[in-house]
């Protein structure tokens, strides 16, 4: 996995609610845990843009509801600082469903996607409507 050129504040913790930004059938996601977390034992793993998380689908089509899925975070409300000094933030927290090979399940992304996600996951750029 490539490093991100921005300073990302990781503010999404377990039980955070995200919007599913693709057309896979899921609507609302709840963060369960971060994939590949490292840190102090017992501490909640925080996540930010570009991280892969495990999330439970709360609202959506019956094939996804109550299932645990892998998700990449593409937007967050908390501002992130880019290398050129610019800060960027979004209106909501959102993610895109992926499979075990880090390929997207849906065929299009609704709304903008952070450039930091495209740096790490090239295949997500092909289905993005806007990259900010």
Please say if the pLDDT value at position 111 is more than 90: yes
| 65-101 pLDDT per residue, tens | 999 999 999 999 999 999 999 999 999 999 999 999 9
36 sits in which H/E element: none
CATH of residue 103's domain is: 2.40.150.20
Nearest to 50 by CA among 67, 73, 24, 25: 73
C-beta separation of 34 from 49 below 8 A: no
The structural domain count of the chain equals: 1
Find the domain containing 59 and state its range.
17-36+44-131
- Is residue 5 situated within a structural domain? no
Sign of CA dihedral 108, 79, 86, 8: negative
| 17-55 pLDDT per residue, tens | 999 999 999 999 999 999 988 778 888 889 999 999 999
């Amino acid at each position: 996995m490539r490093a991100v050129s921005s300073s990302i504040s990781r503010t999404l913790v377990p039980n955070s609610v995200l919007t599913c930004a693709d057309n896979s059938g899921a609507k609302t996601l709840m963060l369960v845990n971060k994939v590949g977390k490292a840190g102090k034992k017992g501490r909640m793993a925080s996540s930010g843009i570009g991280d892969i998380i495990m999330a439970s689908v709360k609202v959506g089509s019956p094939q996804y509801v109550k299932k645990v899925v892998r998700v990449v975070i593409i937007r967050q409300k908390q501002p992130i600082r880019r290398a050129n000094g610019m800060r960027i933030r979004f209106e909501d927290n959102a993610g895109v469903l992926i499979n075990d090979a880090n390929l997207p399940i849906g065929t299009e992304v609704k709304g903008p996607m952070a450039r930091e996600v495209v740096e790490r996951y090239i295949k997500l750029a092909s289905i993005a409507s806007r990259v900010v």
